[in-house]
Amino acid sequence: MLNIVSLTSFDLEHHEIFDCVAAKKVKEAQKLLSEHTVNVRKQVISGYKQMIEDKKSLEF
């Protein structure tokens, strides 16, 4: 089964990053963007691992 994450958390991160950029809070925007990138990377890796496990369970 495909592991789907609600976009709500990522949408919130996008809005926070945008708000910082709009307010010219560069350091805070950089920090949030870095954290967001790590979160997305973790989610992608988790999804791939789940796909591999699901594939193994389907093999005869």
Q: Indicate the pTM of the whole model.
A: 0.72
Give pLDDT tens digits along the chain (60 positions). Answer: 445 556 687 889 999 999 999 999 999 999 999 999 999 999 999 999 999 989 888 866
| SS3 letters across the chain | CCCCCCHHHHHHHHHHHHHHHHCCCHHHHHHHHHHHHHHHHHHHHHHHHHHHHHHHHHCC
Residue 35, pLDDT score: 96
